[in-house]
A and B are shown apart, each in its own frame.
Chain A
Amino acid sequence: MNVIEAIGLGKRYGSTWALRGCALAIPAGHVAALVGPNGAGKTTLLNLAVGLTAPTEGMVTVFDGWPAGSPAALDGIAFVAQDAPLYRNLSVADMLHLTRNLNRRFDQGYAEARLGQLGIPMGRRAGNLSGGQQAQLALTLALARRPRLLVLDEPMAMLDPLARHDFMAAVMAAVADGGVSVVLSSHVLAELERVADYLVLITSGSVQVAGEVDDLLACHRVLTGPAAEAGSYAQRLDVVNARRGGAQVHLLVRTNGRSGSAPPGWEEHPVSLEELALAYLREPGAAALPGPSRARAVEPAEVTNWQR
């Protein structure tokens, strides 16, 4: 099942297209990272997926076909927007009460236990909590709804390193408990490497890379060799990005899973997620997208070199 599916999705604000021709199929049971530069369209995509805004063209559905923003979608998706919005004048207990009233499912015991563990007092006004505590409160409210999908928009932008760690630990613990898929966006990839097993790279309003992290890493290598030979091999190899010194060049290539494809005298290195993302971000014309079929069954990602 796909938690989020988008077909030809586009959103225009005034005369600017924040998102255009966006196609996406994020499978369930994953922690999907939505990565891209500021202004690339991540927040717009998430707003469309949770039903806060409507598409200008195309469509987005959740849980295999439910329209975004429909009652079934609202019921199954818990969204924590950027800066974790809360009613500042309400106490923590009141926020729990409010969330419980507005939803079908609410695990009050879990929420209270969790807040107790975090040391967040029930009587304090939400506006008087620290930034990290507010984020944890927002996350607690979202998780207590027992959603099928948790959507987080740049959840850690305002948090210090310890708060960030605690936040992601809580999200991962919820995933470990079972039943929750996660989609989270960030413009800082490094903090997502440990948690993401599905990657979506968005640049300039469209999807550039989409696939399981394991597949992406297995399909890409860095080949290091003499700069003079780079040209002759560039034709044969599927090169995404080249970085060259005077005598040495690093080619980030797609290998479709074959290892040992390095030409003689060249070194082959595995690629980290950050390196991969940076390479694609530097090459707007390159893309790594799954095949045209809807990814219901698990299948290896077909990688296409789509030059625009």
Chain B
Amino acid sequence: MTIDKEISPADSRVGVAPSDAADADGPASAVPGPASPIEFRLDSGSGVPTYLQLVQQVEHALRLGYLKPGDQLPKVRDVVASLAINPNTVLKAYRELETKGLAAGRPGQGTFIQATLNHVALPELTELRRSLLGWLATADATGLDEDGMVALFTSALRGFRERRGAASGDSESVA
């Protein structure tokens, strides 16, 4: 998956970054800033780690057009106040999005979308679809039912994700 993005200096943050927290000076501002276009939700029964759910929701929002480059992601403090999750989780998700090049943090202001998910070109999509249909036919021939196909695919996808995560030098083992 290729990504369009403007050249901008990588803004790597480690640990708890106060720059993304609410106003650095003085008490809460009387006038709330413009709200982010999206709002996060949590599916505690899904088994997917929280930070990953947030990443996926941002990517999903980008795909569906709720988010465009330049939009601000919800402030860490607001996410935490509405979902009651650890702020480090939100920071982890935003770091992941930065690593993917989808977002960038501006000190004192927040995290902003800076790229879109590039659509895979149509010929490649068609080719992928054809090979997938072939696989489905083979699976059906061996006697696997639909649920079995989904389970197999999900498990393989998880393994694929983990191997890719491990290969990219797992940055999550140490806070």
Contacts and interface: CB of A to CB of B under 8 A. Distances in A.
B21 to A, nearest CB: 6
Contacts of A193: 44
Interface residues of B, number: 33
A169 interface: yes
Contacts of B28: 113
A38 B89 CA distance: 29
Secondary structure dominating the interface of A: mixed
Given A172-B81, A176-B76, A259 B162 contact: yes
Contact of B81 (A170, A218, A257, A298): A170
Nearest to B162: A259
Interface in B15-66: 15-16, 18, 21-22, 27-28, 42, 44, 47, 50
A176 B80 contact: yes
Contacts of A29: 15-16
B175 A173 contact: no
A195 interface: yes
A172 B87 contact: yes
Interface in A123-175: 165, 168-170, 172-173, 175
Interface stretch (B2-10, B97-105, B108-116, B166-174): B166-174
Interface of B: 15-16, 18, 21-22, 27-28, 42, 44, 47, 50, 76-77, 80-90, 155, 162-163, 166, 170, 172-175
Interface of A: 29, 31, 109-110, 113, 165, 168-170, 172-173, 175-178, 193-197, 212, 214-215, 218, 257, 259-260, 267, 270, 272, 298-300
